[in-house]
């Protein structure tokens, strides 16, 4: 899968800018702004105090003010209490009632694999979350923190199709009247379809379900309204898996994203293959192991990682990519092995440590920085596991996060992550440990606080429950979709043709 790694002059330019910005952050605050800052802080303080008093009274939730502050900042939004405003205005979603061959049959047929693909039954169990984690006796430390009861599951990284659909079914502004909907959800399990038909099948078989879906969709009255501009679907794998044409080796994946119908829709993937704003595939977070059922689950977890002991400066979980000259995995593994401040879990064939969610989460919880070099593709699910553990991610390529996840991660990446360009690591003249040690403690603390604040929006809540006020990754994604759809509908109405969908991919 090394064909998925693409580097361009364009991306390294963005890298340079971000890097300079993060270096500037280490400087002192200029003096004239200091007084203003103080005044602002005082004002914010009082607003916060007033707010917390009120919200504690209203919600009756007995949590410490600090906890509330942490998670309040994390994207809470009071959902329209005033009665005369319709809270679903502009947010209504209609779900297409697809024939079960596009979704439910894939779940019930999870075990009929032909021997060509791995049995998916465990992975699709529990609404797509997988099996609940259990904490072994004597592992102490945990106190049940990493168990199914607290919302922890052995979730597979490509399980988003089912999780997202489950969350959608409990969305608070569903409508059965498609003409009243701001957007139309297409619950086709494109990622599962890939897994079922990729290995050992020809092009026609791989594309069959996608073509079938296209025929079904374009025949609907909902489609004709806007040629599908208001439709969206979730394909819980990387976009490369659905663009067979563009890959240097045109033997990988389906051609879903090349179908005329798909080009008009918004497609959510865990890694986009187009530059931000250029394509209609949008990156959303990989599912992590954490699926809170209540707001309190989130608050307790945040509290826990906030006070976690972090004896390791840095850590790494992953396998080398020996056949890939562009990979810096072996350099990372060597640098980590040579440092007394770095810990890693072996993933090489045979070693299964890195597949044990509890071990991974415990390591990330005890590390300040978590190294996230590209693997089979630019992005990694591990980056989200790390942030959920309160560990500051260290990226080596801008496409690993900064050019993805626009809805979920802050635009200023220096606020929550460290960037170390891969060239230096590959050339062997950059010490990751020294680079991280040079970051002042106050800057590290600020990044940790930002990561903590981001946690709610990086996790997918358990689809069988509903969070109260916390916005999770699903909520953020739906907001993004609604905004994107509204924008392209405006363009349809005003007759502006959209710029060509695939006018630029990174390799060009
Ligand atoms: C839509 O219709 C179904 C079946 O009639 C019903 O169960 C569901 O509650 C309706 N949903 C909404 C949002 O009205
Ligand atoms: C499968 O499709 C790809 C492009 O999508 C094409 O390059 C390749 O030749 C096709 N393979 C066969 C066996 O037709
Ligand atoms: C996609 O949208 C355009 C209008 O923007 C329309 O002409 C075209 O027919 C649509 N494609 C499909 C497959 O409906
Ligand atoms: C490290 O090596 C790279 C690639 O050879 C080079 O571009 C860079 O300037 C070097 N950096 C330092 C700090 O020597």
Q: Quote the pLDDT of residue 212.
A: 98
Write the residue with the smallest CA distance to atom 9 of ligand 1.
176
Write the residue with the smallest CA distance to atom 1 of ligand 4.
424
Q: Residue 232 Cα, ligand 3 centroid: separation in angstroms?
A: 14
* DSSP at 286: P
Q: Quote the pLDDT of residue 507.
A: 33
Q: How would residue 3 be classed by pLDDT, with cut points 50, 70 and 90?
A: very low
The model's pLDDT over 397-442, given as tens digits with 9 standing for 90+, comes to 999 999 999 999 999 999 999 999 999 999 999 999 999 999 999 9
For a pocket test of ligand 3, which of 228, 231, 499 has the largest count of ligand atoms closer than 8 A to its C-beta?
Answer: 228
Q: How would residue 355 be classed by pLDDT, with cut points 50, 70 and 90?
A: confident
Q: Quote the pLDDT of residue 65.
A: 34
Among the bound ligands, name the one nearest to the CA of residue 435.
4
Q: Quote the pLDDT of residue 293.
A: 97
- Please check whether residue 418 is in contact with residue 19, taking contact to mean a CB–CB distance below 8 angstroms: no
Q: Quote the pLDDT of residue 121.
A: 93
Phi first, then psi: give them for residue 480, nearest 5 degrees: -65, -45
Residues enclosing ligand 3, CB less than 6 A? 218, 227-228, 260-261, 264
Q: Quote the pLDDT of residue 298.
A: 97
Which has the closest alpha carbon to 87: 21, 173, 160?
173
Neighbours of 197 (CB within 10 A): 22
Q: Quote the pLDDT of residue 137.
A: 53
Q: Residue 130 Cα, ligand 2 centroid: separation in angstroms?
A: 34
Q: Quote the pLDDT of residue 18.
A: 31
d(CA 239, CA 262): 12
Q: Residue 335 Cα, ligand 4 centroid: separation in angstroms?
A: 17
Ligand 1 atom closest to the CA of 176, numbered from 1: 1
Q: Residue 207 Cα, ligand 2 centroid: separation in angstroms?
A: 11
Q: Quote the pLDDT of residue 311.
A: 98
More confident residue, 495 or 4: 495
The model's pLDDT over 113-158, given as tens digits with 9 standing for 90+, comes to 778 888 889 989 999 999 999 976 555 555 678 999 999 999 999 9
Write the residue with the smallest CA distance to atom 5 of ligand 1.
176
Among the bound ligands, name the one nearest to the CA of residue 250.
2
Once rounded to an integer, what is the mean pLDDT over residues 195-201? 90
Q: Which of 260-269, 351-360, 497-506 has the highest mean pLDDT?
A: 260-269
Ligand 2 atom closest to the CA of 203, numbered from 1: 1
**pLDDT over 50 at 71, yes or no:** no
Q: How would residue 364 be classed by pLDDT, with cut points 50, 70 and 90?
A: very high
Ligand 1 atom closest to the CA of 174, numbered from 1: 13
Q: Could you tell me the two tokens for 221?
A: 């009255």
**pLDDT over 50 at 73, yes or no:** no
Q: Quote the pLDDT of residue 350.
A: 58
Q: Does domain 308-458 have CATH number 3.40.50.20?
A: no
Q: Residue 224 Cα, ligand 3 centroid: separation in angstroms?
A: 9
174 lines ligand 1 (CB under 6 A): yes
d(CA 18, CA 21): 5
Write the residue with the smallest CA distance to atom 2 of ligand 1.
176
Write the residue with the smallest CA distance to atom 12 of ligand 4.
429
Q: Quote the pLDDT of residue 249.
A: 67
Query: H/E/C letters for each residue in 141-195?
Result: HHCCCCCHHHCEECCCCCCHHHHHHHHHHCCCCECCCHHHCCEEECCCCHHHHHH
The model's pLDDT over 430-463, given as tens digits with 9 standing for 90+, comes to 999 999 999 999 999 999 999 999 999 999 999 9
Among the bound ligands, name the one nearest to the CA of residue 422.
4
More confident residue, 108 or 29: 108
Q: Which of 35-39, 79-83, 124-128 has the highest mean pLDDT?
A: 124-128
Q: Which residues contact 191 (CB under 8 A, 6 or more apart)?
A: 158, 159, 160, 161, 234, 235, 236, 237, 241
412 lines ligand 4 (CB under 6 A): no
Q: Quote the pLDDT of residue 323.
A: 87
Phi first, then psi: give them for residue 342, nearest 5 degrees: -120, 140
* DSSP at 271: B
Average of per-residue pLDDT values in the chain: 82
Among the bound ligands, name the one nearest to the CA of residue 170.
1
- Please check whether residue 98 is in contact with residue 209, taking contact to mean a CB–CB distance below 8 angstroms: no
- Kindly give the pairing relationship between strand 266-269 and strand 312-318: unpaired
Q: Quote the pLDDT of residue 376.
A: 87
pLDDT above 90 covers a percentage of the chain that reads: 66
Q: Which residues contact 472 (CB under 8 A, 6 or more apart)?
A: 167, 292, 456, 457, 459, 460, 461
Neighbours of 428 (CB within 10 A): 10
More confident residue, 437 or 76: 437
Once rounded to an integer, what is the mean pLDDT over residues 311-339? 94
Q: Residue 425 Cα, ligand 4 centroid: separation in angstroms?
A: 9
Among the bound ligands, name the one nearest to the CA of residue 259.
3
Q: Quote the pLDDT of residue 313.
A: 98
Q: Quote the pLDDT of residue 346.
A: 75
The model's pLDDT over 224-261, given as tens digits with 9 standing for 90+, comes to 999 999 999 999 999 999 998 876 668 889 999 999 99
Q: Quote the pLDDT of residue 492.
A: 72
Write the residue with the smallest CA distance to atom 4 of ligand 2.
245
d(CA 234, CA 485): 15
Identify the weakest region by mean pLDDT among 17-21, 84-88, 198-202, 389-393.
Answer: 17-21
37 lines ligand 4 (CB under 6 A): no
Q: Residue 219 Cα, ligand 3 centroid: separation in angstroms?
A: 13
**pLDDT over 50 at 52, yes or no:** no
Ligand 3 atom closest to the CA of 229, numbered from 1: 2
Q: Could you tell me the two tokens for 111?
A: 């075990």
Count Cβ neighbours within 10 Å for each residue of 224-263 and write b for 16 or more, e otherwise: ebbebbbbbbbbbbbbbbbbbebbeeeebbbbbbbbebbb
- Please check whether residue 261 is in contact with residue 228, taking contact to mean a CB–CB distance below 8 angstroms: yes
- Please check whether residue 387 is in contact with residue 372, taking contact to mean a CB–CB distance below 8 angstroms: no
Name the helix (H) or strand (E) containing 282: strand 281-283
- Return residue ranges of the chain for CATH 3.40.50.2000: 308-458
Ligand 1 atom closest to the CA of 175, numbered from 1: 13
Helix ranges restricted to H, 26-64: 32-59
The tokens 């960037």 sit on which residue?
419
176 lines ligand 1 (CB under 6 A): yes
Once rounded to an integer, what is the mean pLDDT over residues 460-484? 97
**pLDDT over 50 at 7, yes or no:** no
d(CA 4, CA 170): 35
């Amino acid at each position: 899968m090394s064909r998925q790694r693409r580097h361009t002059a364009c991306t390294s330019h963005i890298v340079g800018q971000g890097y300079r910005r993060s270096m500037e952050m280490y400087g002192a605050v200029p003096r004239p702004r200091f007084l203003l800052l103080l005044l602002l802080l005082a004002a914010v303080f009082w607003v916060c105090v007033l707010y917390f008093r009120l919200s504690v009274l209203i919600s009756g939730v007995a949590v410490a003010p600090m906890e509330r502050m942490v998670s309040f900042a994390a994207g809470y939004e009071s959902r329209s209490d005033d009665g005369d405003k319709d809270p679903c205005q502009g947010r209504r979603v209609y779900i297409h009632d697809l024939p079960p061959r596009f979704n439910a049959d894939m779940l019930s047929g999870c075990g009929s694999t032909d021997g060509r693909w791995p049995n998916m039954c465990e992975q699709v169990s529990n609404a797509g979350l997988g099996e609940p984690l259990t904490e072994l006796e004597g592992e102490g430390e945990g106190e049940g923190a990493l168990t199914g009861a607290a919302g922890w599951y052995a979730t597979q990284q490509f399980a988003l199709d089912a999780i997202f659909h489950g969350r959608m079914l409990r969305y608070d502004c569903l409508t059965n009247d498609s003409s009243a909907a701001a957007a139309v959800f297409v619950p086709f399990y494109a990622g599962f379809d890939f897994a079922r038909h990729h290995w050992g099948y020809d092009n026609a078989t791989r594309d069959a379900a996608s073509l079938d879906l296209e025929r079904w969709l374009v025949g609907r009255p909902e489609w004709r309204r806007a040629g599908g501009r208001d439709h969206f679907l979730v394909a819980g794998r990387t976009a490369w898996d659905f663009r067979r044409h563009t890959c240097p080796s045109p033997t990988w994946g389906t051609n879903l994203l090349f179908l005329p119908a798909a080009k008009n829709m918004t497609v959510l993937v865990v890694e986009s293959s187009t530059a931000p704003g250029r394509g209609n595939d949008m990156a959303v977070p990989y599912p992590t192991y954490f699926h809170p059922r209540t707001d309190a689950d989130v608050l307790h977890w945040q509290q826990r990682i906030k006070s976690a002991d972090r004896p390791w400066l840095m850590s790494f979980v992953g396998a080398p990519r020996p056949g890939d000259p562009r990979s810096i995995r072996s350099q990372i593994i060597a640098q980590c092995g040579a440092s007394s401040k770095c810990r890693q879990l072996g993933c090489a064939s045979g070693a299964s440590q890195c597949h044990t969610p509890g071990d991974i989460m415990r390591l990330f919880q005890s590390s300040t920085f978590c190294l996230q070099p590209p693997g089979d593709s630019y992005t990694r699910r591990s980056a989200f596991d790390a942030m959920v553990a309160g560990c500051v991610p260290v990226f080596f390529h801008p496409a690993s996060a900064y050019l993805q996840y626009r809805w979920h991660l802050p635009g200023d990446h220096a606020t929550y992550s460290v960037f170390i360009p891969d060239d230096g690591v590959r050339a062997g003249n950059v010490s990751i440990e020294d680079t991280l040690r040079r970051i002042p403690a106050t800057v590290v603390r600020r990044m940790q606080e930002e990561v903590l604040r981001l946690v709610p929006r990086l996790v997918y809540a358990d689809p069988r429950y509903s969070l109260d006020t916390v916005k999770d990754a699903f909520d953020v994604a739906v907001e993004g979709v609604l905004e994107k759809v509204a924008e392209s509908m405006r363009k349809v109405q005003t007759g502006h043709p959209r710029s060509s969908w695939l006018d630029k991919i990174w390799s060009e």
